[in-house]
């Protein structure tokens, strides 16, 4: 998505060889028009796949998952992050390390909203090592639903997450691929 590459160059900042700060675009402020166009891109990729629900993890995945769900005309379900959890038989929970926060959080989805009859499109903002996506994929598998694919706004190709998911024969589409952040330079794939 060329428009998104231009916005990343203009508004992103390279924090290290691994981390791109995108508060102006994805993680703190969002441009609703741009997020609408991202949702349309994902919806166009999956329009014929019989998606019944879009799923994401709070919080940065929610805007683009919302516009994707809006375009597809299906509900959005966002997994919630919980610090402490009481055992709840109605919830599916996975423990996930957070790439940016350096902590471990539990992500939780109620069985009420994702069932074995669902065909799920999982949308998220950025993929690095793939821990968040792996946790979400395990939850979707445990729900009995079918995972149709994974849509990621920004894939950092120099980290292993996206490839590991494709190696599991799961379809993964990204709107922008970043191959390097070395020396403060953003290089697109």
Contacts with ligand 5GP by CB under 6 A lie at 19-22, 27, 60, 99-100, 124-133, 161
Nearest to 160 by CA among 187, 185, 131: 131
User: Residue 25 Cβ, how far from ligand 5GP at the closest point, in Å?
Assistant: 9
Q: What is the dihedral of CA 102, 19, 171, 56, to 10 degrees?
A: 50
Whether 115 contacts 139, CB under 8 Å: no
The residue among 52 and 153 lying less far from ligand 5GP, judged by its C-beta, is: 153
Nearest to 35 by CA among 8, 64, 11: 64
Q: Is 20 annotated as a binding residue?
A: yes
156 labelled as ligand-binding?
A: yes
Please list, in sequence order, all residues whose beta carbon lies within 8 angstroms of the beta carbon of residue 166, skipping any fewer than 6 positions away: 172
Q: Cβ 73 to ligand 5GP, closest distance in Å?
A: 25
d(CA 177, CA 151): 12
Report the residue number, 120 or 128, with the smaller CB distance to ligand 5GP: 128
130 carries a ligand binding annotation: yes
CA–CA dist 186, 180 (Å, integer): 6
Q: How far is the CB of 29 from ligand 5GP (least distance, A)?
A: 12
CB-wise, 63 or 161, nearer to ligand 5GP? 161
Least CB distance to ligand 5GP at residue 52 (A): 23
Question: Known binding site for 5-phospho-alpha-D-ribose 1-diphosphate: residues?
Answer: 128-132
Question: Known binding site: residues?
Answer: 20, 27, 128-132, 156
């Amino acid at each position: 998505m060329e428009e998104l590459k231009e916005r990343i160059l203009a508004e992103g900042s390279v924090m290290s060889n691994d981390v791109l700060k995108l508060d102006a675009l994805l993680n703190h402020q969002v441009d609703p028009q741009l997020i609408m166009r991202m949702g349309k891109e994902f919806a166009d990729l999956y329009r014929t796949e019989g998606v019944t629900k879009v799923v994401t993890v709070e919080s940065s995945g929610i805007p683009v998952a919302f516009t994707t769900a809006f375009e597809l005309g299906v509900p959005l379900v966002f997994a919630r992050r919980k610090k402490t959890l009481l055992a709840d038989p109605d919830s599916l929970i996975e423990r996930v390390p957070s790439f940016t926060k350096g902590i471990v959080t539990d992500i939780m989805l109620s069985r009420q909203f994702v069932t074995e009859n669902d065909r799920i499109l999982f949308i998220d903002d950025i993929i690095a090592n793939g821990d968040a996506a792996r946790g979400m994929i395990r939850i979707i598998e445990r729900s009995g639903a079918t995972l149709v694919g994974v849509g990621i706004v920004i894939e950092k190709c120099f980290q292993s997450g996206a490839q590991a998911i494709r190696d599991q024969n799961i379809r993964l589409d990204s709107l922008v691929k970043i191959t390097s952040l070395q020396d403060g330079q953003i290089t697109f794939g």
